[in-house]
Amino acid sequence: MLVRRGMSLVEVMVYCLLLALFSAIAFVSLPGRATRTTQELQDATSQASLALTRLVGELDNSLANTVTSDERSIYFLSATPEKGRLRYDSEGELLWQGWVAYVYDKPTLTRYWLPLASESVKSGVGKTPSLDQIRSGRSRVVARGVTYFSITRESTSFWVIQARVEVGAAFHRLRTGGGPRR
């Protein structure tokens, strides 16, 4: 009885052809997937960066004794209107426009806006609303894909804000800080 060892030339050629076919598919599809992941990460990072920049800008133009924060949210009286520019009275003092809150609910960062009853109120704002009251105002998701968000008070008037944006296995960390100038 004849026992064959190894493979025939035809079998080797078929296996080589299959290996080449699977390698070509992987070679063609992997760069496309990596490009999509990179673009998605860039979009998410850009969105989160703009949100943090706006948060710090609003925080810079807030009233120091109205800022309240915890690990996942921050809210304060803002002179920055929902849309438009800062407004001043005839003496050059900022006019307070409303209460703003940034709240992190994984994986989104949402901005809430509760306008004041009288848009031209100076520093005497009355009672500070609760976060739930501010959340009853208008809301807008300002960042998606956020897997980590932290607000830490560094001093009496300075907060450090950190975020991490993740898409697939790729991520980007963001860190900024700011505080009221008033």
Is residue 46 one of the residues assigned to a domain?
A: yes
Give the distance, in angstroms, between the CA of residue 125 and the centroid of all CA atoms in the same chain.
29
Q: What domain range is 108 assigned to?
A: 34-178
Confirm whether 137 is domain-assigned: yes
| Total of domains in the chain | 1
In a domain, 174, yes or no: yes
The answer to whether position 12 is within a domain reads: no
Cα 3 from Cα 7, distance rounded (Å)? 12
153 lies in a domain? yes
Residue-level length of the chain: 182
pTM: 0.76
What is the mean pLDDT, run by run of 10 residues, along the chain of 182 residues? 78 92 84 77 90 91 87 89 79 85 94 80 69 91 93 90 88 90 70
Cα distance from N-terminal residue to C-terminal residue, the chain: 98
Other Cβ atoms closer than 10 A to 172: 17
